[in-house]
């Protein structure tokens, strides 16, 4: 299954929940926010949210800025 | 240098933003520092209580153990003000604000900043008005970076923005307050806090903004790019306080010619 993760092509072996992807990326427990196809997926739904082929996923965090 | 201030002055009206009261009129950014340790130390020295951050993609597959900005600048201690820096249109800015709200567990205070071009980083006002309207409708508390046009500032207030933040000079230019007259006009019209956002280069610039009657100043580069950011952060804290006191005190009138400070009466020569 192929998705676009933060603008880059990313291959997932089989069906995944959003939380499984976050765990796989080593980002579990980090303060972040996720959008799939330009819609926010609230943290409370990460465990149940099933990713689809072709999904555009954005995972963001806070960095220094003015 | 510790302040030994015995004189009791009448209580000043503190800065109130989105229902919260702040002692400091200094708001600071977290960009352009050497590292997170320097960021934290400078912000501590500045006495700022509201701190801006940017929202960006997480680095995938790199250093997931790296400390996060919000581990150092804790939302428990500071009011985090996520910005929409880098956005050139309303759509991207609204998207960024929604991500920020999710990131900060429903915290709905944002700094709306939509830029028009790279050279001046001047605000794109048509897009800013569109985004402000949409964000206010969606329940955001919008502090808005804007041009220094008094009529547009009034429009932003009518839309429901909770703070008006005109530039004093282009972002990162350090040119100081180039538009005192316009800033004054905006302050006179406004019923919400007015903060100069961008343009300050050194402490006296911050003081000038406060002397004009601004409720606060938002800055980043002036502190982060000083030779000694920690000391400049302290200078800014004092500059903001000095300017506020001077504004409340009311300056003497300007005169074209001299007026002796010592009396002529009683001279013996």
Tens of pLDDT, residues B23-62: 999 999 999 999 999 999 999 999 999 999 999 999 887 7
Return d(Cα B208, Cα B240) in angstroms, integer: 9
A9 touches chain B (CB under 8 A): no
Least Cα distance to B157 among B194, B197, B182 occurs for B194
Q: Which helix (H) or strand (E) holds B103?
A: helix B90-103
Cβ–Cβ under 8 Å, residues B163 and B192: yes
Indicate the average pLDDT of chain B.
94
Q: How many CB pairs below 8 Å do chains A and B form together?
A: 102
Output the pLDDT for position B174.
94
- Sequence-distant (6+) residues with CB within 8 A of B247 are B210, B211, B212, B213
In chain A, what residues touch B56 (CB-CB under 8 Å)?
60-61, 63
- What digits encode the pLDDT tens for the residues B109-168? 999 999 999 999 999 999 999 999 999 999 999 999 999 999 999 999 999 999 999 999
Q: What is the pLDDT averaged over residues B164-187?
A: 96
Least Cα distance to B98 among B142, B59, B52 occurs for B142
Residue B137 a catalytic site member: no
Output the pLDDT for position B7.
85
Does the structure show a pLDDT above 60 at B1?
no
In chain A, the residue whose alpha carbon lies closest to the alpha carbon of B63 is A26
Cβ–Cβ under 8 Å, residues B130 and B156: no
Lateral strand order in the sheet of B141-146: B109-112, B141-146, B163-166
Cβ–Cβ under 8 Å, residues B184 and B177: no
Cβ–Cβ under 8 Å, residues B97 and B82: yes
- What digits encode the pLDDT tens for the residues A13-44? 877 899 999 999 999 999 999 999 999 999 99
Count the neighbouring beta carbons within 10 Å of the beta carbon of residue A44. Answer: 8
């Amino acid at each position: 299954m192929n998705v676009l993760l933060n603008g880059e092509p990313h291959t997932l072996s089989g069906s995944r929940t959003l939380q499984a992807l976050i765990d796989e990326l080593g980002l579990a427990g980090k303060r972040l926010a996720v959008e799939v196809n330009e819609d926010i997926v609230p943290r409370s739904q990460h465990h149940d949210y099933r990713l689809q082929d072709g999904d555009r996923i954005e995972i963001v965090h806070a960095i220094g800025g003015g | 240098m510790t302040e030994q201030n015995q004189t009791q002055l009448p209580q000043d009206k503190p800065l109130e933003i989105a229902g919260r009261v702040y002692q400091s009129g200094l708001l600071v950014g977290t960009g352009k520092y050497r590292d997170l340790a320097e960021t934290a130390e400078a912000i501590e020295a500045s006495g700022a209580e509201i701190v801006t951050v940017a929202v960006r993609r997480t680095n995938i597959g790199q250093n997931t153990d790296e400390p996060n900005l919000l581990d150092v600048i804790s939302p428990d201690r500071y009011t985090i003000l996520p910005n929409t820096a880098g956005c050139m249109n309303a759509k991207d800015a609204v998207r960024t604000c929604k991500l920020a709200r999710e990131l900060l567990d429903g915290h709905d205070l944002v700094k709306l900043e939509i830029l028009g071009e790279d050279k001046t980083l001047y605000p794109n006002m048509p897009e800013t008005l569109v985004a402000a309207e949409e964000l206010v409708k969606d329940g955001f508390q919008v502090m808005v970076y804007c041009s220094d046009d008094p009529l547009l500032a009034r429009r932003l207030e009518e839309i429901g923005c909770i703070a008006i933040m005109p530039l004093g000079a282009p972002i990162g230019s350090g040119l100081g307050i180039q538009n005192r007259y316009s800033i004054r006009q905006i302050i006179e019209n406004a019923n919400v806090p007015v903060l100069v956002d961008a343009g300050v280069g050194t402490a006296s610039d911050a003081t000038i903004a406060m002397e004009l009657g601004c409720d606060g100043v938002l800055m980043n580069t002036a502190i982060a790019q000083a030779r000694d950011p920690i000391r400049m952060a302290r200078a800014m804290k004092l500059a903001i306080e000095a300017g506020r006191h001077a504004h409340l005190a009311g300056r003497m009138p300007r005169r074209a010619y001299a007026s002796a400070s010592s009396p002529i009466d009683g001279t013996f020569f």
